């Protein structure tokens, strides 16, 4: 793999006209985790899949947290900038247009932070089990940016109210947000894949 600022996998597109995807794993995952899922949600897309640089008890993440659901926001801000810089490097190295992020859990949270801090880095985002990453985000213009948030109604980590607040923050910034609540918990289900695939197909 090309030497860029994150350990990552890159797979070139096998079909033209599909948006490149930036795959962002959950806590304890790595750059291989979401590759099989991406075949189901966007076959043929170029794939860029970095490994989070923060280790929590040996488990890779994209930013530090103080405890479950309580984030080190200074680190969130720094890591979101670092990830956006990596996206720019990778776009240049691999000749990609701005990717659509597909993040799960911690990966969804860093994607939401990138939207709020470096909106030009992403063409859109699928946020699976996301929560509000920054309590006091800067004003940002997300005019027309497509965002799909898929939440679990019985998610023990992300209260439904928190996911709704994220949806309204992004909507308030101008993003075109679809927020789907599924009758499930924090883990991904077949319904996540179906909803995500249909949403990516209409981009």
CA 3, chain centre distance (Å)? 22
* Site residues for ligand MLT per CB under 6 A: 26-27, 65, 68-69, 105-106, 109, 157
- Please confirm, yes or no, whether 85 is among the known catalytic residues: no
Q: How far is the CB of 65 from ligand MLT (least distance, A)?
A: 4
Closest residue to ligand MLT using C-beta atoms: 106
Shortest Å, Cβ 94 to ligand MLT? 27
**Nearest CB to ligand MLT, comparing residues 72 and 85:** 72
Q: Is 72 a catalytic residue?
A: no
Is 105 in the active site? yes
Catalytic residue among 49, 151, 155, 179: 155
DSSP code at position 29? -
Count Cβ atoms within 10 A of the Cβ of residue 177 and give its class: 0-12 exposed, 13-18 middle, 19 or more buried. buried
Q: Which of 5, 72, 75, 186 is catalytic?
A: 186
Tell me whether residue 8 or residue 79 sits nearer to ligand MLT (CB atom).
79
Identify the residue whose tokens are 């479950």.
68
| Closest alpha carbon to 38 in 202, 203, 192, 178 | 192
Q: How far is the CB of 70 from ligand MLT (least distance, A)?
A: 8
Least CB distance from residue 36 to ligand MLT, whole Å? 20
DSSP string, 100-168: EEEEETHHHHHHHHHHHH-GGG-SEEEEET---S-SSPPP---TT-EEEEEEETT-SSS-HHHHHHHHH
Nearer to ligand MLT, 51 or 65 (CB): 65
In angstroms, rounded to a whole number, what is the distance separating the alpha carbons of residues 8 and 116?
23
Q: Tell me the two tokens of residue 45.
A: 């897309």
Cβ closer to ligand MLT: 26 or 152? 26
> Which residue of the set 38, 49, 105, 151 is catalytic?
105
Q: How far is the CB of 117 from ligand MLT (least distance, A)?
A: 16
Which CB, 108 or 148, lies closer to ligand MLT? 108
Q: Tell me phi and psi for residue 135, to 5 degrees.
A: -70, -30
Residues identified as active-site: 105, 155, 186
């Amino acid at each position: 793999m090309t030497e860029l600022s994150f350990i990552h996998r890159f797979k070139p597109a096998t079909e033209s006209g599909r948006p490149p995807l930036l795959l962002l794993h959950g806590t304890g995952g790595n750059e291989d985790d979401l590759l099989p899922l991406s075949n189901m949600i966007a076959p043929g897309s170029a794939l860029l899949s970095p490994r989070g640089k923060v280790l929590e008890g040996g488990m890779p993440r994209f930013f530090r947290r103080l405890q479950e659901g309580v984030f080190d926001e200074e680190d969130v801000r720094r890591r979101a900038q670092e990830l956006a810089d990596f996206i720019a490097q990778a776009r240049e190295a691999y000749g990609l247009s701005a990717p659509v992020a597909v993040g799960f859990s911690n990966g969804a949270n860093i994607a939401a932070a990138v939207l709020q801090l470096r909106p030009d880095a992403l063409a859109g985002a699928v946020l699976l089990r996301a929560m509000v990453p920054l309590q006091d985000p800067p004003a940002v213009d997300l005019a027309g940016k497509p965002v799909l948030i898929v939440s679990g109604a019985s998610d023990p980590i992300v209260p439904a109210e928190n996911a709704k607040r994220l949806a309204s923050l992004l909507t308030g910034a101008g993003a075109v947000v679809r927020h789907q609540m599924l009758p499930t918990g924090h883990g991904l289900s077949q319904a996540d894949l179906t909803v995500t695939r249909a949403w990516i197909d209409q981009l």
